[in-house]
Structure 1
Amino acid sequence: MWADEAALDATQRRLDEWESTLADRARRAQSLATRVAALNGTAHSPDHTVEVTVDSAGRLVDLRLDDRVRQHSAAHTARLIVATTRTAYADLLRRVTVTTRETVGADDPTGQAVVDSYRRRLGDERSDPDADR
């Protein structure tokens, strides 16, 4: 009978460890979600006439134009805004990647899914299977 009790104890310890591991992963995932939600990405155009900030969802939340944009055509300024927004997206992706590694680790499947999701949503060419064409 003792062998059955020992097996039962060992099984209980494994279940306790599994439960603890799941609880720890849930805490880290919640921490990641909270930290990522607070992130933003910011970029300046090469000539510093345009500054763009996007929030954690990739939405434009701030756009600053230096008075020097008046020296350029509207089309030129529009191109600068679009290009600078893409750079702000890249900054956001970089911040999400760093935060994910710090919070859950680079090899964590949840973390990888979060970073991959941002790559797809923000148009990072590494997530596009046709990008090498």
Structure 2
Amino acid sequence: MFGRDLDDAEAWVADWSAAVSARAEQARQLAARVADLTGAATGGHGLIEVRVDSTGALIALRLDDRVTGWPAARIEHEIMATLRRAQATLTGRVTEIVASTVGVDTETGRAVLTGYERRFPAVPGDGDGERRR
């Protein structure tokens, strides 16, 4: 009497457990790949280069000697604009990682993407020819 129902229940639990394990592995892969992520951009007509880690923190800054002839306010502006462009590259790269791991339509995927989109929005009017990587 209970044999078939019990077999079906055990199969359902096994399938559910496997699905949960698969999602956990995808989330682990997402976290590991995002943690290794960096973004980069150049500014000031190629005289400034910045690199950021996955949290958007500055990890490298290179200034060409020619920026020493600029007013300090221009140097500050160019560094900050270049930093924002480097940070903005993270959102696109995280979108690719989310799509290939947990999926952009999952709750986890949407949460991760929303966080990056809020912290590192696209830079409006960023058609100035500067490089982003």
Instruction: Assess same fold via TM > 0.5.
Output: yes
Letter in 1 for 2:63: L
Q: Secondary structure at the match of 1:106?
A: coil
Q: 1:89 matched to which residue of 2?
A: 87
Aligned counterpart in structure 2 of residue 76 of structure 1, from 74, 77, 81: 74
Amino acid at match of 1:18: W
Identity, in percent, stands at 43
Aligned length in residues: 122
Q: Give the TM-score normalised by structure 2.
A: 0.86
Distance 2:106 2:51 in 1: 29
Counterpart selection for 1:53 from 32, 51, 54: 51
- Tell which has more relative contact order, 1 or 2 (C-alpha 8 A, sep 6+): 2
User: What is the CA distance between 1:56 and its match in structure 2?
Assistant: 0.8
Unpaired runs of 5+ residues, structure 1, are 126-133
Amino acid at match of 2:19: T
Structure 1 residue runs of 4+, over 2 Å off?
none
Q: 1:41 — aligned with what? A: 39
For 2:86 and 2:64, locate their aligned partners in 1 and report how far apart those are by CA, in whole Å: 17
Question: Which piece of structure 1 moves more, 59-68 or 105-114?
Answer: 105-114
* TM-score normalized with structure 1 length: 0.86
Question: Whole-Å Cα distance in 2 between the matches of residues 100 and 68 of structure 1?
Answer: 40
Question: Which blocks of at least 5 consecutive residues in structure 2 are unaligned?
Answer: 123-133
The alignment yields a C-alpha RMSD, in angstroms, of 1.3
- The alpha-carbon deviation at position 117 of structure 1 amounts to 1.2
